[in-house]
Amino acid sequence: MRSERLADIEEGTKILEKYKIDLEPIGSRTEITGEQTLLHAAQQAGVHLAAVCGGAGVCGKCRVRIITGQVSPPNVAERRFLTQQEIEEGYRLACMVTPLSDVKLHVPPGSLTTTQRLQVEGQETKVTLQPSVIGLDLEMEVPSLEDLRSDQVRVQDASRAAGHPHLSTGLPVLSCLSDRVRNLDWKFRLVLRDDEVVAVLPEAESFCGLAVDIGTTKIAAYLVNLETGETIAKTGAMNPQVAYGEDVVSRIAYVNEGPDQKRVMQQVLVDTLNEVVASLCEESGLRQEQIVDAVMVGNTAIHHLFLGLPVMQLGMSPFIPAVSQAVQVPAAELGLQIAPGANIYLPPNIAGYVGADHVSVQLVTRLLDEKRTVIACDIGTNTEISIIHQGQVWSCSCASGPAFEGAHISAGMRAAPGAIERVKILDDGLHINTIEDQPPVGICGSGILDAISEMLSAGMLKSSGALDRDHPMVRKEARKGDVLLAAADTTGHKLEIVVTRSDINEIQLAKGAIRAGIDVLMETAGVGNEEVDAFILAGAFGTYIDVDSGINIGMFPPLARHKFSQVGNAAGIGAKQMLVSTGMRAMAEAIARKVDYIELTTYPRFTHKFAKAMFFPETTGIGDK
């Protein structure tokens, strides 16, 4: 599908003997000739590969791994920095390698100079602290030939004396208890969850919890002090499953190939979460065993892939989740390296494509307490939408596709430095903003949304999505025309960032799906535009977009601008709230039970609604600014 679209773009330019270079997991793409190196490709694509020596092959920093494709054989410089095994595994120095075919390569995080923008922020709301664990300080007699009680019984006896007569201890804790209590000289703090031992800490030591929003593409993680509710540290990471499929549908297809694939898909994620935990610990100066609880949210597929649940039935109609209720899983069972007895709580899923992450959003927006009519929308490759009206909640899911993640857009890229994120067409011409004000290298979701909205307002676009080839800004070279947003010559390579007819079509598909979902929910609830009191936009993309552009292209209904609010990473915030409060977990479970799921594919005349929603509005009715 990708290469077809590329061919389509090339049609007008007829550049020959160039190879396509895909850079994973960043999701960026470029083309170079057989004389140019992979380092060149990375620079051209705006991927900041470390190359301290400037590409002379003497620093060894620009390591990449060839996933597919033919490249030049390893040279002497590379053999100096790479072992034979690494070379066999596909590792190479990007500055020394030229392509012999189209190439897909993996850029390890350590080879990058800048990290991508990841969303860990969000609007916080206060919740009452009600963690699932407590601390219990104990001190006890040392064993002797006259007192031969087992360590298990000795600790039980002491905790009974301290008012906890029903202590239980699972194998992972028992596996370290004996050494731990001796190292701590029989004076220590037990962390208990319903009288089950979670961790053995030095006396009076603080403990914390881990909240993670596992997105299809990005992971946001927070460390929260469970005694104060304070967020101690936060970080972001890429979801490494991207390497096995950009969207959940391709990941499900990969996992369906066999049990090994299923294990790999689970393991890469667990490995990354362990790296995230290690980095949060380093940042906060805590040890991993001080992390005594965890909450993870993700969509249903990610939830299943993380837990190693079957996804075959989730990948085909009627898209049935294996598990929908909230689960608590021992962290040790999944290999997550936190306190030995810690559990991971995962809130319920509503349906195959409305997952625990959306429940988390609903929780944060207090959908259950809401007396008004509210729409909540979390835009992603898959967009979940909920509406509450007169105390009743309906949810649905739309296949909006990865266009807003920069995929399937000719100059598309993720929201990384150098991505065009704002576009404005004024009387004096075109204006752009890039992330971190870097030289432009591509366009991200909010940028393409802006661009199309502005092109529409400027009269370049017809309602059907066709470009008006008579408009002076529309270039005639491409078969269906295109619009140049930026041109650069930063790396000795001429870079043109354009919007093509095909890009416009991708956005039409995406915004059409979202709008059709919104329309169906409003119809189901029986409300018109004037009855909607609030429209909540959650998630990374929903936070960064210009709402006016969304209204302008018809992705959102034409409500008054003030009714819209952008709440940030609500899924992550909800995870934090459930981490510090078991009451919030109960509320999440109550929400999931209350929601009526609307299956769009069986909704009457849905296809018609979707097709209609793909058109752009005839008038450019921008909301009040």
Taking CB under 8 A as the rule, does residue 320 contact a second copy?
A: yes
Which of 571, 513, 592, 538 has the alpha carbon at shortest distance from 215?
571
Reduced to 3 states, what is the DSSP secondary structure of residue 120? coil
Among 313, 457, 491, 524, contact with a second copy (rule: CB under 8 A) = 313
Q: Which CB, 297 or 570, lies closer to a second copy?
A: 297
Cis (ω within 30 of 0) for the bond into 172?
A: no
Q: Which CB, 182 or 479, lies closer to a second copy?
A: 182
Among 88, 145, 371, 437, contact with a second copy (rule: CB under 8 A) = 145
Q: Are 394 and 387 in contact (CB under 8 A)?
A: yes
Taking CB under 8 A as the rule, does residue 143 contact a second copy?
A: yes
Question: Shortest approach of a second copy to residue 173 CB, angstroms?
Answer: 10
Q: Are 198 and 331 in contact (CB under 8 A)?
A: no
Question: Shortest approach of a second copy to residue 255 CB, angstroms?
Answer: 12
CA–CA separation, 18 vs 193, rounded Å? 60
Question: Shortest approach of a second copy to residue 594 CB, angstroms?
Answer: 15
Q: Segment near a second copy (CB under 8 A), from 34-42, 44-52, 345-353, 512-520?
A: 345-353
Taking CB under 8 A as the rule, does residue 113 contact a second copy?
A: no
Q: Segment near a second copy (CB under 8 A), from 237-245, 277-285, 315-323, 501-509?
A: 315-323
Which of 560, 281, 409, 279 has the alpha carbon at shortest distance from 5?
409
Q: Are 322 and 309 in contact (CB under 8 A)?
A: yes
Taking CB under 8 A as the rule, does residue 589 contact a second copy?
A: no
Reduced to 3 states, what is the DSSP secondary structure of residue 90? coil
Question: Shortest approach of a second copy to residue 602 CB, angstroms?
Answer: 5
SS (H, E, C) 419-457: EEEEEEEECCEEEEEEHHHCCCCEECHHHHHHHHHHHHH
Q: Which CB, 221 or 307, lies closer to a second copy?
A: 307
Taking CB under 8 A as the rule, does residue 101 contact a second copy?
A: no
Task: Locate the DSSP E strands across 194-263.
Answer: 196-202, 208-214, 218-225, 231-238
- Which residues, 176 to 215, sit near a second copy by CB under 8 A? 176-179, 182
Question: Shortest approach of a second copy to residue 205 CB, angstroms?
Answer: 21
Taking CB under 8 A as the rule, does residue 324 contact a second copy?
A: yes
Question: Shortest approach of a second copy to residue 76 CB, angstroms?
Answer: 28
Compute CA distances 561 → 141, 428, 518, 617, 619, whole Å: 68, 27, 17, 17, 17
Pattern 431-470, binding to a second copy, x per CB under 8 A? ----------------------------------------
Which of 204, 175, 206 has the alpha carbon at shortest distance from 292?
206
Q: Which CB, 69 or 143, lies closer to a second copy?
A: 143
Taking CB under 8 A as the rule, does residue 228 contact a second copy?
A: no
CA–CA separation, 509 vs 615, rounded Å? 9
Taking CB under 8 A as the rule, does residue 85 contact a second copy?
A: no
Residue carrying the six token digits 């065993």 = 289
Farthest-apart Cα atoms in the chain, separation: 99
Summarize as ranges the residues that interact with a second copy (CB under 8 A). 143-146, 148-153, 171, 174-179, 182, 307-310, 312-313, 317-325, 327, 329, 333, 349, 351-352, 597, 599, 601-602
